[in-house]
Structure 1
């Protein structure tokens, strides 16, 4: 089982990499695990890799699967909302991840609301609890990731759902970019809140960036939509390596460790600039930056 001393190479840091390529780059850079998206799994199968092949690649490189990322089709929705989500490519159901967990094992399953739909905490908690119960059959922990533009926009909203679900394997994924861009800081991670975290991803964001008040409800609908698009563009193309921005990644991780959170650290840096280094180069740069931050 991956623990607090382990680094995990997230798929977003090495976009477009194949299964073997990602594993070899992760191993060479000193990571202990990798994450997989549903499309990574399907891509490996399409390339002709068998489950036995993938297991062998992981074993040969001393890796395990840190996280299966991410279930997006899990909230109760009406038919029109479901059609909109499907058309936008947001609907990824849980079934494929059970197949992946059965085949390769994993530490955790990530769950996210990505389309900006309204979320009612009670109904979301019921759905999240159901995922946790099913995931327990595979030995998975489950974490709910908050996104600043989404229906679960900050850590408090995620905590409310996790608390209502009340599942021993359920918790929060804290991504330092999302914490920063939702107006959060390490000071917000008081022990009672921090202990709900069972997944960690780190990257950084340009400072000063989007002010918290600009992310709150208070402008015209079109302005709110523009802010969401700006955030989505930055998160998918312009993240920074840990320690290179204003998110105070070291302090966030220190607060989590002080609260007893022993999750491994995933390094997720969506960055067009980083991508120009290639898969191996991006993995090495991400590992070096992460180790430097964690050493602090």
Structure 2
């Protein structure tokens, strides 16, 4: 069984905590790194820490940093009807994101598609993703593409089509188990993805949303810790961990219940549940 190269704490799991508390939760979980959105990094920078202080606080704990969410690789950065909160979360150019990469020595970029279904031609997405990979390659960091069933790259097949056509050596796929479950969970396709392509994992459990449910709302509030819901994580992990290599892995548990936990408790819960799910030793 192949183990991940790095354990990452994704911002959704610690979204209500301050930056220093997020680092505390990451350390408590025994994870290698923390991934935050551009907005979260800017909030930390503008809190008085500055970019130097943000990086030092992570370095002091031995924690690496990743960028969670780049939307500017596509010509549309937010979906139609986006409210102020959604715009503040997603509306950043590639240039703004690369400035953060350079200032904070970030380890990777996560590309996401936050536009309505069928509003951007696939050829345009392939070119945009390839350009982002090229910019990241000069910085010697990878770019991973995530799919989400309610927006413009809705499933693994669509994401793999873009990555496969872009043909970039630093490109990979991000598989969020919640999104995979709600977009068809095509295990045969997952098993057939080229072994040279890195597959990374965001782990979340929960329940299968009923037809007609507000999937965005459920995504942001009702996820469970890995192993504490009814989604079929075991089958997904069995396929991924049979690969020659596995990229990063870590929890992305958007949960109103988890939001009430302290940094220490959240870290303990996320660390223990993630390791159990992955079948690796505790910290």
Structure with bigger helix share is: 1
Q: Report the counterpart of residue 71 of structure 2 in structure 1.
A: 72
SS of 2:69's partner is strand
Work out the CA distance in 2 between the residues paired with 1:246 and 1:234.
Answer: 15
* 1:146 maps to 2:130: no
Distance 1:165 1:256, change over 3 A: same
Work out the CA distance in 2 between the residues paired with 1:152 and 1:269.
Answer: 21
Work out the CA distance in 2 between the residues paired with 1:274 and 1:84.
Answer: 29
The aligned runs of 1:235-274 (5 Å cut-off) are 235-274=219-258
CA deviations 1:109-152 (Å, max 9, x no partner) are: 01111232423211110010010001112221111110011121
How big is the shift at 1:86? 8.5
The aligned runs of 1:160-239 (5 Å cut-off) are 160-192=161-193, 196-206=197-207, 208-210=208-210, 214=211, 227=213, 230-239=214-223
Work out the CA distance in 2 between the residues paired with 1:143 and 1:86.
Answer: 26
Segments of structure 2 that go 5 or more residues without pairing to the other structure are none
* 1:278 maps to 2:279: no
Work out the CA distance in 2 between the residues paired with 1:257 and 1:163.
Answer: 21
How big is the shift at 1:187? 4.5
Q: Report the counterpart of residue 52 of structure 2 in structure 1.
A: 52
Segments of structure 1 that go 5 or more residues without pairing to the other structure are 215-225
Distance 1:83 1:189, change over 3 A: closer
Contact kept in structure 1, 2:202 and 2:251, CA below 8 Å:
yes
Distance 1:159 1:270, change over 3 A: same
CA RMSD of aligned residues (A): 2.4
How big is the shift at 1:205? 2.3
Q: TM-score, normalised by structure 2?
A: 0.88
Work out the CA distance in 2 between the residues paired with 1:95 and 1:203.
Answer: 31
Distance 1:82 1:190, change over 3 A: closer
SS of 1:144's partner is strand
Q: Report the counterpart of residue 20 of structure 1 in structure 2.
A: 20
Contact kept in structure 1, 2:76 and 2:114, CA below 8 Å:
no
* Aligned pairs, number: 274
